[in-house]
Structure 1
């Protein structure tokens, strides 16, 4: 399949055709996360608490694997744009080799450390037991998850977005269907409780990886996984990790931020911790579509950058920014207009709804400015500038917002934390554009 369409077709049409499948599949994945938590909460409150404690470790594993996948995506796209088919094949093969090593390593590590990790946070033996039982099965599928993500980023690198969407959605849908069946023992299945939830997740991941493999065989990609390229290639490993490690940190930083903000908010009352949790649930429905645009842009940017089409790179960046600005404007209007109704989806407590309404109105003031950071960070990853992208994420999630939240809250209470969000987005937008310009010139 000829990839030259990536530098010939109209830019906006290309971005939309590659981004829309990603937006849809990520919305389904977001729905799966909510459904999974819903069914586990039906087992018991202890089971849900155990899942909450295991989640940061799972999130870290996912961040590392997805971040490394972004490295694979960028390197393959670059070599395809440079018309270097052999190096694109080498990158894909080495990516699969390293992905397998990552999966096996996380499987062993995840199972080994979970009990002492859980005991650091709770003395409740039932919660620890639930967490260990869930983790033991969930981490057995770490290699399947890694294969799924390597396939996903390889398919996306060559523009096969619809097939990627199909595989991603299939895994999520299978998980959603199997959750109640395996947790509660419906039909011929035995009642497995929290182990059933872990097994449903693992089967969904394995099914998605298998479907990718079937599609890879049935409809070959422009890049191939080749046995002759399995020999360790340290120079290529360096290229993959130079992008993959910063991308992994980018994905892990929000978890760090939430933990720190929870510590600050706890001093003003648990209601604010609840509100922050609700905000992060709601904001996924805004930032996930934005991330879909970024995923559509990455291979286009990498290909055209490798092909030396710098004017086209600029146009891809500009059109992607406009699309995200539109999304963020809509999100701002909704949060300003109906914040109470949004909070009402999660609580009927009028005090909490009022506190949440204030939070949504204040935080949403930074949505439009955040468009610049989101696009600059994603574009730099697509261009292979992982360290530059990490600088932006560090500003958004650590360097600016944590000191701002701490200082402003000293004067305004919990509301000061909400103001720290828009202050951070405004400051980071300016920094992001400067970092992007420097990264592109470099």
Structure 2
């Protein structure tokens, strides 16, 4: 397969062709996240609370998988762009081996720490038991999820976006079908409650991995996993982690933020914790499709940077920013005018619905401007500049929002936390664009 189309095809149709499969797959993934939460919410609001409390650790595990995958993606694309296929295959092989090691460690560590983690936020024995049940099953599939996401980034790096779309959609659709069967029972299948939701998630991840393995075995790719490439290469592994670790931190920082905000909001009412969890489910409908565009951009920027096509790098950034901002503008309108029905999807508790309406209408004020930060961060990762990308994420998830939330909730109650979101996006955008421009200026 000849991947030189990434530096020859006109930029706009190229970006659309690479991004569209990702956007579609991200929308399906968003639908899965929403449907999964809807079924869990039907068990009880306590079950939904348990998921909200587990979310930070689950997100951190996914951050490791996706973040290190970004390192794999970037190195493969950069080496292919420079015409070094052997190095690209070595990056893919080392990346997969290290991903499997990460999965095993995550399974062990996450299961061990979860009981103590949950007790930091609640003393309710039922909530703790539900959280432990859900998280234990989910983390037993961590190695499978790591392998699937490593394959995803490998296929994306060589432009096979339709394969990644098919794998993700297949896994998510199977998950959606299995959710009601395993949670509530059907025929000989017993009702498993929250354990069924976790098992459906794991099976969906396994099926996605099966799709990748089938395509990998049956088709030709510009890069292959080779045993001969497993020889120690500290310099290459260092480059994978130099990009992957900042990307992991970029994706893991929301977990730290949610943990921090849960601590603030729990002091007002458990309903605020539920609303924060619901918001993070709803926002996937916006940020995952926008992230799909960024995923389409990332290997293109890496390949063209490796091929020294800097004018195309600039054009790719600008088009991605415009497309992401358009998605976020649509999300702003939806949250402003449909906040009540959105909250009612997850809860019938009048207090929780009222709190959620207010939260969505305030937080969405920062959606459009957030496109500057997300696009800049993704572009920097594609260029192999993980440290600069991390600076932007630190601004969004720690430097600005944590002190703002703490101060504003002291003066404005829980609503101060919601205002901290949009103020942070404005401040982060002010930082993000100059950071990106400075980094590109060094290209």
Does the pair score TM above 0.5? yes
Deviations 1:350-389 (A, max 9, x none): 6655554443333332222211111001110111111111
Q: In 1, are the aligned partners of 2:56 and 2:259 still within 8 Å (CA)?
A: no
Determine the structure 2 residue equivalent to 1:293.
Answer: 293
Task: Please give the secondary structure, in 2, of the residue aligned with 1:30.
Answer: helix
Output the aligned Cα RMSD: 2.4
1:219/1:235 CA distance change after superposition, 3 Å: same
Determine the structure 2 residue equivalent to 1:73.
Answer: 73
Whether 1:147 and 2:157 are equivalent positions in the alignment is no
User: What are the equivalent positions in structure 2 for 1:168-183 lying under 5 Å apart?
Assistant: 168-183=168-183
User: What are the equivalent positions in structure 2 for 1:98-113 lying under 5 Å apart?
Assistant: 98-113=98-113
Determine the structure 2 residue equivalent to 1:243.
Answer: 243
Deviations 1:235-262 (A, max 9, x none): 1111111111111111111122223233
Q: In 1, are the aligned partners of 2:265 and 2:272 still within 8 Å (CA)?
A: yes
Determine the structure 2 residue equivalent to 1:234.
Answer: 234
Count the aligned residue pairs: 442
User: What are the equivalent positions in structure 2 for 1:1-400 lying under 5 Å apart?
Assistant: 1-43=1-43, 47-270=47-270, 272-346=272-346, 355-400=355-400
Query: TM-score if structure 1 supplies the norm length?
Result: 0.92
Determine the structure 2 residue equivalent to 1:434.
Answer: 434
* Bigger mean CA offset, 166-175 vs 257-266: 257-266
Deviations 1:29-56 (A, max 9, x none): 2222233333344555655554444333
Question: What is the distance in 1 between the residues matched to 2:267 and 2:125?
Answer: 28
Task: Please give the secondary structure, in 1, of the residue aligned with 2:322.
Answer: helix
* Bigger mean CA offset, 324-333 vs 308-317: 324-333
Deviations 1:275-311 (A, max 9, x none): 4444333322121111111011000000000000001
Question: What is the distance in 2 between the residues matched to 1:370 and 1:129?
Answer: 37
Question: What is the distance in 1 between the residues matched to 2:153 and 2:123?
Answer: 41
* Bigger mean CA offset, 174-183 vs 286-295: 174-183
Question: What is the distance in 1 between the residues matched to 2:135 and 2:181?
Answer: 19
Question: What is the distance in 2 between the residues matched to 1:118 and 1:349?
Answer: 24
User: How far off its partner does 1:187 sit?
Assistant: 3.1
Task: Please give the secondary structure, in 1, of the residue aligned with 2:31.
Answer: helix
User: How far off its partner does 1:116 sit?
Assistant: 4.3
Question: What is the distance in 2 between the residues matched to 1:122 and 1:415?
Answer: 22
1:183/1:236 CA distance change after superposition, 3 Å: same
1:404/1:130 CA distance change after superposition, 3 Å: closer
User: How far off its partner does 1:74 sit?
Assistant: 0.6
